[in-house]
Structure 1
Amino acid sequence: MPLSSRLPILLACVVALGGCAGHPKGVMSPVAVSNKTGGSKVDMLVVTSRVPSDDPATLFTGERSPHPYLTDISVSIPSDSKRKAGTVQWPKKLPPNPDTDFAVTRVQQLKSVDQGRTWFRAHVVGGHALVFVHGFNNRYEDSVFRFAQIIHDSGAKVTPILFTWPSRASLFDYNYDKESTNYSRVAFEQTLRTLANDPNVKDITVMAHSMGTWLAMESLRQMAIRDGRVAPKIDNVILASPDIDVDVFARQWTEMGEKRPKFTIFVSQDDRALAASRFISGDVQRLGAINPADEPYRSKLEQAGITVIDLTKVKGGDSLNHGKFAESPQIVQLIGQRLVTGQTLTDSNVSLGQGVTAVIAGGV
């Protein structure tokens, strides 16, 4: 069956699986927060290759900008007694109620890279930077709230940097989104290079999800080809549910050269979003859906020294099983307390519960 005939069927299946988002859109207008809410806040620097919307409620569209924008954003998160870890409390109506909802409390556009450096110096946490890249079908606000949730629930002692690329946030725009990651490769590479050249930055962890892993891998590969290696300060790369053809990943990995960061990959064989991606991508296995215990994957991962954590037995927070890395409290805490600090995982010292097994490829 040709792709033109298969695509409507595929999208109908994904819509049925994923359902519809039931929260209001346009939550980026700042609201006041009382000290009585008892919650916490996450400050982040957001870099985007999106076009501004000229609407304070959305800030940026899903279209492509020829140059990046930097924004200082603060997100208020309800107290832990009023929310379940691993979830984003979207408001049921606007404006958000900071006592019960995630809410934006500050938005400030930065006009230069120097202002970005000043922001980092004011928010430095041990010199550790965590750079997050979202996946397919994300509005600007989706990525902001999800990253705020990850930072809060992980307890990571890092300075949060979000890179959000131009997604139209529509299931019917998969190809547009994929091309937008290609469009954003230089902007993301420049973001990583700027961080790596900043004397206040000691080390960088890159964490990417879904289609965002393609952008991360391509930018790191591009940096390695341009400079002869990935910047030494980029210590760790975490790929969650990577929507990458396994053959292409192998080539990207090889072309980074010998001096690579540590790699950790979260996979799940019940990821329905990646099954859909495989369906429209020539029936080639997606990296995020492999069984790392099977050959040839096991031997190749051992040779490469890549750590793979299999989340297949972890209960997902949605019917697509595509966001387990952020929705499971144990996994989020593993990211924040172990992986971003560069700790090596072994079968004997990883206890995640819920039947999760860590498949360790030697040499990490």
Structure 2
Amino acid sequence: MNDTGNAFLVHVAYATDRAPGPVAGKLQTFLGTRSDLRYGHATVSIPRTHEAGEVELPSWFRLQFEPDPAKHFTVAQSELLTPAAWSADVQARLRQSKRKAALLFIHGYNVSFPDALFRTAQIQHDTTFPGPAVLFSWPSKAKTIGYTKDEEDVQWAIPHLTEVIRRLLAIGDTNEIFIIAHSMGNRVLVNTLAELGRTSPAARAKIKEVVLAAPDIDAGIFKRDIAPKLPAAAQRITIYASSRDMALAASAKVHGYGRLGDTKPSVTIAPPLQTIDASELPADMLGHSYIGDNLSVLEDVRKIFASGAAPAQRGLRAAGPASKRYWRFDVPKH
């Protein structure tokens, strides 16, 4: 991350199977339709007035119709790279990191390409992650009415994310990989990890921490069929869930089955995976984006990535019997 005086500049290496859109100046744009896997990199500008947990964007209510880099997140540059040039770009930034660690983010449903870049840069900035930020962006339609289409496109993206993680693993300077997936993006990730656990025994040595944030996945199918396969691909996996997540409550109604990221009717426990109940934390109207919006969650993720601390060491409160242990944020009662 560079400090230009007026803004912080965050470099994001991206991989996407969105169809490319027009090039506008220095900006390669992407659409919400499927395509082949492409690689590139972008520069995200974060205003110096940025507050942790926020992605500051123009607001019509404040009569802000164009982004101002002094006040808002903006994409300063975005261009495509060859796969080899992308690997070299990530490798060069890994060499600047003492830990030689990379952070990979996979977004959820109803997310545009610029918004995915913004969230990736914001999480890296707010958690002070000490290595390159990498985004995998699948072809979300970025519309509320696009839920069914997005469900199909996460399936489309599974082999592409598998290729991206294999590429990261193959970079010689990669010592550690940390992964965060949000919402529907978890479907891409868990299927990819299951495949890597089966076919790439060396993956676990480098994939140190995986965060499944508000996962929009059938809880029963996950516990029975998917969770047992994941420890072969990653050293530790943490699930964040909340009973205040209205988006996942709506998904449960659509599908007829509870979601992994919802603690209703019960918290999903799948040892050795660790489940964190975020229900007691303040939330926005939907209660779905706390992985980037809530300071307590961001700080917990920062501690996980910085030291690999156990939940109790991070100040979380144990809940449930020992055989069905999960963790809660210790929110003071007033």
Match of 2:33 in 1: 63
The answer to whether 1:155 aligns with 2:123 is no
Distance in 1 separating the partners of 2:214 and 2:261: 4
Match of 2:248 in 1: 274
Amino acid at match of 2:289: G
Pairwise CA distance, 1:84 = 2.5
Equivalent of 2:11 in 43, 46, 67: 43
- Does the 8 Å CA contact 2:34/2:153 hold for their aligned counterparts? yes
Alpha-carbon separation, structure 2, partners of 1:76 and 1:113 = 24
Give the Cα separation in 1 of the matches to 2:299 and 2:37: 31
Q: Cα RMSD (Å) of the superposition?
A: 2.5
2:236 to 236, 242, 262: 262
Is residue 308 of structure 2 the alignment partner of residue 343 of structure 1? yes
In the alignment, the residues of structure 2 paired with residue 35 and residue 205 of structure 1 have an alpha-carbon distance, to the nearest angstrom, of 27
Look up the SS of the partner of 2:22 in the other structure.
Answer: coil
Deviation sequence 1:321-350 (CA, Å, 0-9, x none): 0011211123213212x2224513233x22
- Could you tell me how far 1:140 is from its partner in structure 2? 0.5
Is it true that 1:287 corresponds to 2:254 in the alignment? no
Which structure shows the bigger proportion of residues in strand conformation?
Answer: 2
Question: Using the alignment, how far apart are the partners of 1:274 and 1:58 within structure 2?
Answer: 32
Distance 1:34 1:156, change over 3 A: closer
Question: 1:290 Cα shift?
Answer: 2.0
Q: Tell me the equivalent position of 1:54.
A: 22
Structure 2: gaps (5+ residues): 326-334
Give the superposition deviation at 1:313.
1.1
Q: 1 CA distance for matches of 2:77 and 2:23?
A: 15
Distance 2:65 2:248 in 1: 33
Alpha-carbon spacing, 1:88–1:61, altered in 2? closer, same or farther (3 Å): same
Asked whether the equivalents of residues 20 and 29 of structure 2 are also in contact (C-alpha less than 8 Å), the reply is yes
Give, in whole Å, the separation in 2 of the partners of 1:73 and 1:320.
29
Partner of 2:328: none
Structure 2 counterpart of 1:72, from 38, 41, 52: 41
Q: Aligned pair in 2 of structure 1 residues 116, 344: CA closer, same or farther (>3 Å)? A: same
Whole-Å Cα distance in 1 between the matches of residues 84 and 50 of structure 2? 37
Distance, in Å, in 2 between the alignment partners of 1:260 and 1:101 is 35
Q: Does 1:174 align with 2:147?
A: yes
Pairing 1:310–2:277 present:
yes
**Amino acid across the alignment from 1:76:** S
Q: How far did residue 357 of structure 1 move?
A: 4.2
Q: Distance between the aligned counterparts of 1:274 and 1:289, measured in 2?
A: 6
1:97 aligns with 2:68: yes
Paired residue secondary structure (2:261): helix
Query: 1:210 touches 1:241 (CA, 8 Å); kept in 2?
Result: yes
**Structure 2 counterpart of 1:345, which letter?**
A
Which residue does 1:26 correspond to in 2?
Answer: none
SS of 1:59 mapped into structure 2: strand
Give the TM-score normalised by structure 1: 0.79
Inter-partner Cα distance in structure 2 for 1:259 and 1:68: 23
- Cα offset, 1:220, TM superposition: 0.9
Contact 2:91 2:171 in 1 (8 A): no
Paired AA for residue 152 in structure 2: E
Q: Write out per-residue CA displacement over residues 225-250 of structure 1, whole angstroms, 9 at most, x where no aligned residue.
A: 33467443112110000001112212
- Pick aligned residue for 1:106 from 45, 70, 77: 77
Structure 1: gaps of 5 or more residues: 1-32
Which SS does the other structure have where 2:258 is aligned? coil
Kindly provide the amino acid, as one letter, of the partner of residue 77 in structure 2: R
3-state DSSP of counterpart to 1:83: coil
Alignment identity in percent? 27
1:64 counterpart SS class: strand
TM-superposed CA distance for 1:223, in Å, is: 2.1
Q: Of the candidates 287, 290, 294, which is equivalent to residue 328 of structure 1?
A: 294
Instruction: Give the superposition deviation at 1:307.
Output: 1.7
CA distance in 2 between partners of 1:155 and 1:113 (Å): 27
Q: Which residues in structure 2 correspond to 1:219-258 (within 5 Å)? A: 219-227=192-200, 230-250=203-223, 251-256=225-230, 258=232
Change (3 A) 1:279 1:161: same
Counterpart CA distance in 2 for 1:105 and 1:258 is 39
CA separation in 2, counterparts of 1:259 and 1:335? Answer: 20
Instruction: Tell me what 1:144 maps to.
Output: 117
Counterpart among 86, 93, 97 of residue 123 in structure 1: 93
Amino acid at match of 1:60: F
Equivalent position SS for 2:314: coil
Q: Which residue in 2 is equivalent to 1:10?
A: none
1:185 CA displacement: 0.4
